[in-house]
Amino acid sequence: MKLTWLGHSAFRVEIPDATILIDPFLTGNPGASGVDLKEAVKGATHIALTHGHGDHIGDTVKIAKEIGATVIANADLAAWLAHQGVEKVDPGNTGGTLIQNAFSVTFVNALHSSATITEDGVSHSLGNANGLVFHFEDAPTLYHMGDTDIFSDMALIDELHRPEIGIVPIGDRFTMGGAVAALACQRYMKFSTVIPCHYGSFPIIDQTADKFVTAMGEGANGTKVEVPKPGETLSF
């Protein structure tokens, strides 16, 4: 499996029979500086969304219309996207698992909001925020926490899914900060590798992963911390 950070919370996941874009906020993403946007979306078969905020929906509608990718999202968000002209949507909701050809994805809890404001100035609720757990046949299980604070039921997510790779928001203000994110990883999860996200983009959130890296270093319990640059690919 190849995993590429595209800045903020956006990732590209490549396995032999599928390419998944998670929260593809690319256009206008300050954290995506230097990322080749055409290469980032090339060959994508699926788009998976954690929730309905603009910095996570991002370019979903445009990408889905141009290349025909299937969009995986909570039921409310999927319905809204269908109204925006997205033809292939696969809805789910918290606790549910969607089986795709090359992988499965389970919607799990996240502590966050989920809405969008349209051009007419109206706020639309787009269901609950989620984390997403991806199971692959021949690759490590991946847990993208979405936007969230720490919560003790992360221990149940670990028990049920045993994710080996964790993508964890650390930027503070809108999610947990670095120290709390490290506590979540150390107390509730047994990741072999953890990757921080949701930082270094907008000026009002933390600009580096330093707090997270420092806190993880105090008791990493064997977890490797990877801090890729935007556009950098990790292989597992």
% of the chain exceeding 70 in pLDDT: 99
What is the pLDDT, as a whole number, of residue 1?
98
CB 80 within 8 A of CB 52: yes
| Measured distance CA(10)–CA(144) in Å, rounded | 10
Name the nearest CA neighbour of 227 among 193, 203, 201, 202: 193
- Name the residue ranges covered by the structural domains of the chain: 2-235
Q: How confident is the model at residue 222 (pLDDT cuts 50, 70, 90)?
A: confident
Q: Which residues contact 114 (CB under 8 A, 6 or more apart)?
A: 51, 52, 53, 74, 76, 77, 125, 126, 127, 128, 129
Cβ count within 10 A of residue 186: 18
Is 3.60.15.10 the CATH number for 2-235? yes
| Measured distance CA(175)–CA(3) in Å, rounded | 22
Locate 134 and state its tokens.
Answer: 């991806």
What is the pLDDT, as a whole number, of residue 176?
98
Least trusted range by pLDDT, from 65-79, 114-128, 129-143, 147-161: 114-128
Distance of alpha carbon 51 from the chain centroid: 9
**pLDDT (tens digit, 9 = 90+) per residue, 51-96?**
999 999 999 999 999 999 999 999 999 999 999 999 999 999 999 9
Q: What's the predicted TM-score (pTM) here?
A: 0.97
Supply the DSSP symbol for 1: -
- Secondary-structure breakdown of the chain: helix, strand, coil percentages, each rounded to the nearest 5: 25, 30, 45
Q: What is the number of alpha carbons within 13 Å of residue 58 lying toward its C-beta?
A: 29
What is the pLDDT, as a whole number, of residue 218?
64
Q: Put the strands of the sheet holding 89-92 in their side by side order.
A: 89-92, 70-74, 46-48, 18-22, 11-15, 2-5, 233-235
CB 114 within 8 A of CB 53: yes
| Measured distance CA(187)–CA(42) in Å, rounded | 38
